[in-house]
Amino acid sequence: MGSSTAVRPDLRPALQFLSRLSKNNTRDWFEQNREHYETAMEEFGILVGQLITGLGKVEDLDGVTPKDCIMRIFRDVRFSKDKSPYKTGLGAGIVSGGRKSGRIGYHVHLQPGGRTMVGGGMWEPAPQQLSKFRSAISKDAGDFRKIMESSGFKRHFGELVGEQVKTAPQGYAADHPQIDLLRYKQVCVMERFDDDVVSSPTFPTLAVQSLTAMKPFIDFLNKITLE
């Protein structure tokens, strides 16, 4: 089915449910409102399906489905002081092989209060992934900087986001010419969307545009970390 005739998600109920969940994060409340949760997940699944279709025009996603991508709403509280049982946003990792593939991919996060975002990159990189990134950047950051300086990158993302070390990572001099990039412990980009935009019929199109603009960045990270 083409995008012009595809069913568009109505994300307003999902935003409403998540807003209420943030104030009532208990199992009892969740079970009493499970019907609203299921509606939210259904609409979010439609969105993810449209993003897969749109991104699939430029990215080989190898038949991935929304089910392969959507993350559970249940929090792992075993090692957390916060024992709230549920996440207050819905997320999906869109990548060939699904969210557990180990490849660096794309992410969509739905959360009210202007916290909906489309992003991607190395949010929790394995040590070897971060080491490979730093090694590649220390030798030649030219291609990566070209991606960051492109009009599409700047229009959608502005700059990199992620935690950084304060001075220099171990093994690199503080005056290294690429130290501004080498400091990153997380190498990510994101574009945020206000609730009124997310609630509008144009949001899937805007999200696909963001994902498409992200492709050179994701391709670069996968190339250097998978080699």
Residue type, 88: T
Q: For residue 72, give both structure tokens.
A: 């559970």
Domains recognised in the chain with CATH numbers: 12-226 (3.30.930)
Average pLDDT over residues 84-95: 96
Output the pLDDT for position 1. Answer: 37
pLDDT at residue 6, rounded to an integer: 64
Cα distances (angstroms) measured from residue 77 to each of 82, 84, 86, 88, 124: 7, 7, 9, 14, 18
Q: What is the pTM of this model?
A: 0.91
**Distance, CA of 191 to CA of 117 (rounded, Å):** 5
54-83, pLDDT tens digit by residue? 999 999 998 999 999 999 999 988 888 889
What pLDDT score was predicted for residue 80?
85
pLDDT tier, 117 (very low <50, low <70, confident <90, very high otherwise): very high
106-110 β-sheet, strand order: 90-94, 106-110, 116-122, 187-193
pLDDT band at 103 (very low <50, low <70, confident <90, very high): confident
Radius of gyration of the chain (CA): 19
Query: Which two structure tokens, joined as six digits, stand for 10?
Result: 């109505």
Query: What's the confidence (pLDDT) of residue 184?
Result: 98
